[in-house]
């Protein structure tokens, strides 16, 4: 079963978001676009909070957030209980974020990776399972 995806971006990530949505459609993923819907200047929390809330409430299995550096969306998403947002700029980081940290929100830095790499990172994030085992006890210690 393919996981359902909540996706959002600010203006710096808009073009990548649109391309990643095309990939999600092509690969038959259920998803919801939480905006932004143009390259006009937009505040990243306005999109990061709704994506994080949707994953937090288990309305979607995973979240994808894109902004210029990925820092703003990651900081915002990680304010939500049960969200483990990971900034990934290499495919290996996406695999480890899922496998070792059970990350449920991927944050992509659009200004620092190519669109081709961003697509590969997203694919690896979606496809990689949580390994559990010794990692589970660590993940269980994250929430306060």
Q: Catalytic residue positions?
A: 67, 100
* 66/52 Cα distance (integer angstroms): 13
Collect contacts of 133-142 with beta carbons under 8 A, ≥24 apart.
Answer: 135/99, 135/100, 135/101, 135/102, 136/102, 138/100, 138/101, 139/84, 139/101, 139/102, 142/84
């Amino acid at each position: 079963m393919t996981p359902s995806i909540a996706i959002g971006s600010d203006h710096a990530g808009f073009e990548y978001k649109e391309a990643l949505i095309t990939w999600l459609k092509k690969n038959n993923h259920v998803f919801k676009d939480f905006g932004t819907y143009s390259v006009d200047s937009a505040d990243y929390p306005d999109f990061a909070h709704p994506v994080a809330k949707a994953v937090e409430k288990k309305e979607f299995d995973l979240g994808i957030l894109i902004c210029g550096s990925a820092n703003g969306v990651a900081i915002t998403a990680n304010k939500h209980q049960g969200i483990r947002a990971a900034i990934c700029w290499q495919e290996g980081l996406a695999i480890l974020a899922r496998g070792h940290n059970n990350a449920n929100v991927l944050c992509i830095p659009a200004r620092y990776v190519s669109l081709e790499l961003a697509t590969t990172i997203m694919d690896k994030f979606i496809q990689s399972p949580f390994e559990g085992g010794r990692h589970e006890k660590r993940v269980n210690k994250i929430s306060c």
